[in-house]
Amino acid sequence: MVDCPVKRPLRQFCHIDDPATWIKYQQKLCRNCRASCCSLAVEVRIDDLIDMGLADSFEADEPARLVARRLQKAGIIDHFNARSQIFTLARRAGDDCIFLDPESRRCTIYPRRPATCRNHPQVGPRPGYCAYQSRTG
């Protein structure tokens, strides 16, 4: 756990697994964050996979379970929910997204990142809040 940049009398730490400890999001926090949000499970749809270059537009017309099977074999997704048609991106052993550079802690597909990432923290476990952890902490 890392100290939060905002002083709080009752909570001293922001913890990724406990949204109650998260702080109110401010865009300037991203500049010095260790990309805590990239340790959350990332759910995507077929359109996101196409935008990310992981599927082509022809696959949008195929049964999603076939796309899921291919991407699971390739280690790109961990899970597919057939009912909701949602794919969950794979994560590394430390729970980091497979597209997060382990050294720089920056997204390797940032211009093509999925909607879930583009809309964070407006959507997620605690909308409007983030699990900020300082790079220097």
- Give the model confidence (pLDDT) of 117-126 as tens digits: 999 898 888 8
The number of angstroms, rounded, from the C-alpha of 98 to the middle of its chain's C-alpha atoms is: 10
pLDDT value of residue 2: 47
The pTM score is: 0.80
Query: Encoding tokens for residue 43?
Result: 């759910």
Evaluate whether 107 touches 113 at the Cβ level (below 8 Å): yes
What is the per-residue pLDDT across 30-59, written as a single tens digit (0 to 9) for each? 888 888 888 889 999 999 999 999 999 999
